[in-house]
Amino acid sequence: MMDRNLVRPALCGAATLSLVVLVDGPAHAYNWKTHVRMVEVAAQLMQPSSPYSTAPPSGVDPTQWQNYISAIRAGYTKLGVLQSALPDAAPENASVCNYSPSDNMSDIPNVRIEDMTYLPIQGGQVIAGGSAVQYGGGCSELPISCSSDDNLRVGRILGWQGASVDDRLNDSVLWYKPTSALGLGEADKLASTFYQDAVGALILPFVCLADLFSGSGCSLNQAENLANEYNPFELLEGAIPGLGAGTSYMYVGFWHFIDVAAGGGQFNNPRGMLYENAGPYLPVMSPIDTIIMATADTIGWSIDAKPSDGVNRYGALDSFTRSYPLWQAFTYGHLEFSPVSNLAAYGWQQFVANPKSALGLSWPLHAFGDAAEPQHVAGTTGWGHRPYEDEVDFLLDDQVLPPPTSCTLALASTTDESGGGSLDPDAAPVSAAQAARILLDGFNFWTTYNGQFARNQVPVQAMITDLANQTLALAMAAEGNQAGSVYNDFASIVYQSGAPPIGNNTTVMGDADQMYNGQVPVMQSMIEVGTGAIIAFLTGASLTAQDPGTDGFQSCSVGDAYAADAGDGGGCEPPAGSGTFFVDAGDLLCNGNCFSASQCETPCDADADVDASACDGGDECYNGCCVPPAPPIQ
């Protein structure tokens, strides 16, 4: 008998869900905080000063294990020389953000990770397409406030890069095509499929004859792809332009799936998202996926191929490439997107082209996070997708993957979603047992792929596919023990219904979070394997990293402040106001200086968060300097 979790969603009214599905958006991935955390913990376990035991696990060759430990330690050090590639923070309010006046914040992107005196958070006014209110407020950086946080630089900055891929709105530019609206697009798809199958069958003998001489295999799929390349239905429909092209956060994630549950598609093996065949239990589809597909067919929402970075970047790496008209021929409900392994491969190409910058690593790191998410490896936006991700995020700090200890991030007045602070009070460092599991997962990936690691070479697509298959296996094993433990479609329906939140968990709607209570072991296992895969990837990537050399970074000499209008293109000059300087005890935030008597009457206690007696005007004592209090970041 089919489990009720498969049947029950079909009884819900699709029409009542269509609006809330569209509001929430069809394609999301792990939340920002989870993406960052996986990289943070990977780097934490790689660093030479890692407190966790490096003794070989039972059954592992000690010499091979020691080679692995040596490789990840060396890899961590090599990654520290990369330029941060973080956003230019110069447009932000330096006094509110507690940026040092001596720092040229426009130089942040070019600073080596190991030289950074700031840690990034999910904030700032320069996030691509986002507003400061949406993404953690007007500050993108936090000044490192204690020496112990020096070890957070690599993990936090690379984690930020990995999470930032969700902000690349131009990956998907959509427009409305009247010729695909009101079901016409689905009719075109049916006609196109009939043509493709018929012509493919006719030319199959000729394709096989050609392959016989070349020594290649012979398949109907290859013949169908050749027929599709000259498919008149698709070429004609795809050539007709649409209206009102635009971007939205709802559609960035189209390229963030790898449907190993379905296997090969027409253009890639494994394929990416394809709504008409989404989910782990085909032919049973989620009402969420069905409504998204039907809404796209009704309105005529399609990809505008030329301005879409996803087409030009990830689509260019398909096994069978498509012309612009073929990308535009159908609504996105019937379009086979490129898999997230292509996204990773594109990023690797960028890193090889510029191995002095961390930017190229952002795409592969994001892809590893997505390939560790069960709904993303089954190509579905239903089956518990959003409530599962939100519950992982909610339980992350104290149960799933605790954060590295940080006095800097704990000072941030940000929301949990921003990842900058307000960590769960029950959070504790990664346990020795969890660290051992993650290191062993990393070892397994390292032993599989280490022979293929070399300068400019990492088999990132194979690693992503491998991780996706392991994620699916873990998810289906959990389903076998308890149906609905991972792929719970009713949880998606409840989530999309907009029911009020339960308890303190304001990120998960209604009863949806309760449906994933007790699932920490399977959540944890998938996150741990993904984190281990990131350790192996970063170790391989470190062989390509190059040191750009220091550029003097931001800091001016003691007593000077950076001014964008000084000299030719900015420089250091005495600060405005009094020339009297007060040296603090911490030599941290203000580089040893409080800048005027009006700002600081006497050096305040560097270890105190607030010392009103030493500061006037309502300022706070922060690391030895009197600064205006930072308002809570919304």
Averaged pLDDT in 10-residue chunks for the chain of 634 residues? 31 34 53 94 95 89 96 96 92 85 89 93 59 61 86 95 92 90 64 52 54 56 56 59 84 96 92 96 93 91 94 96 89 95 98 96 98 97 93 90 86 42 58 96 98 97 98 97 92 76 45 78 97 98 90 51 55 48 36 40 42 54 52 38
Structure tokens, 60: 């592992």
- The candidate with the shortest Cα–Cα distance to 591, out of 60, 7, 118, is 118
Is 195 contained in some domain? Answer: no
Shared domain for 487 and 586, answered yes or no, is no
- pLDDT given at position 307: 95
- The candidate with the shortest Cα–Cα distance to 90, out of 112, 130, 113, 118, is 118
Is 360 contained in some domain? Answer: yes
Is 211 contained in some domain? Answer: no
Sorted by sequence, the CB contacts under 8 Å of residue 51 that are 6+ apart come out as none
Residues in the chain: 634
Is 356 contained in some domain? Answer: yes
DSSP state of 302: E
Q: Report CA-CA distances (Å) from 252 to 64, 159, 221, 288, 569.
A: 41, 19, 29, 18, 36
Q: What is the DSSP string of 220-284?
A: HHHHHHHHHHT-HHHHHHHHS--EEEE--GGGGGGGS--BTTT---SS-SSB---GGG-SSSTT-
- Distance of alpha carbon 282 from alpha carbon 66, whole angstroms: 45
Shared domain for 566 and 534, answered yes or no, is no
Is 189 contained in some domain? Answer: no
Shared domain for 537 and 590, answered yes or no, is no
- Distance of alpha carbon 343 from alpha carbon 354, whole angstroms: 17
Is 338 contained in some domain? Answer: no
DSSP state of 396: I
- pLDDT given at position 17: 36
Shared domain for 166 and 138, answered yes or no, is yes
Matching residue, tokens 């993904």: 530
Domain boundary among 485, 514, 541: 541
- The candidate with the shortest Cα–Cα distance to 311, out of 230, 238, 223, 386, is 238
Please, are residues 334 and 177 in contact by the beta-carbon 8 Å criterion? no
Domain boundary among 494, 516, 541: 541
- pLDDT given at position 478: 96
β-bridge pairing 243-246 and 118-120: unpaired
Is 13 contained in some domain? Answer: yes
- pLDDT given at position 110: 93
Structure tokens, 415: 């929301």
Please, are residues 110 and 83 in contact by the beta-carbon 8 Å criterion? yes
Domain boundary among 541, 575, 598: 541
Shared domain for 521 and 567, answered yes or no, is no
Sorted by sequence, the CB contacts under 8 Å of residue 417 that are 6+ apart come out as 31, 32, 33, 122, 136, 393, 507
The whole domain housing 610 covers 557-634
Shared domain for 481 and 616, answered yes or no, is no
- The candidate with the shortest Cα–Cα distance to 417, out of 248, 166, 171, 247, is 166
- Distance of alpha carbon 320 from alpha carbon 315, whole angstroms: 9
Shared domain for 487 and 523, answered yes or no, is yes
Total domains in the fold of the chain: 2
Shared domain for 485 and 603, answered yes or no, is no
Dihedral sign of CA atoms 494, 381, 478, 368 in order:
negative
Q: Which helix (H) or strand (E) holds 389?
A: helix 385-395
- pLDDT given at position 515: 82
Phi, psi of 235 (to 5 degrees): -65, -40
- pLDDT given at position 337: 97
- Distance of alpha carbon 35 from alpha carbon 238, whole angstroms: 36
Residue 214: count of CB within 10 angstroms of its CB: 7
Shared domain for 510 and 599, answered yes or no, is no
Shared domain for 471 and 597, answered yes or no, is no
Shared domain for 562 and 416, answered yes or no, is no
Shared domain for 410 and 457, answered yes or no, is yes
Q: Report CA-CA distances (Å) from 11 to 6, 145, 191, 289, 381.
A: 10, 55, 31, 15, 18
Is 417 contained in some domain? Answer: yes
- pLDDT given at position 413: 42
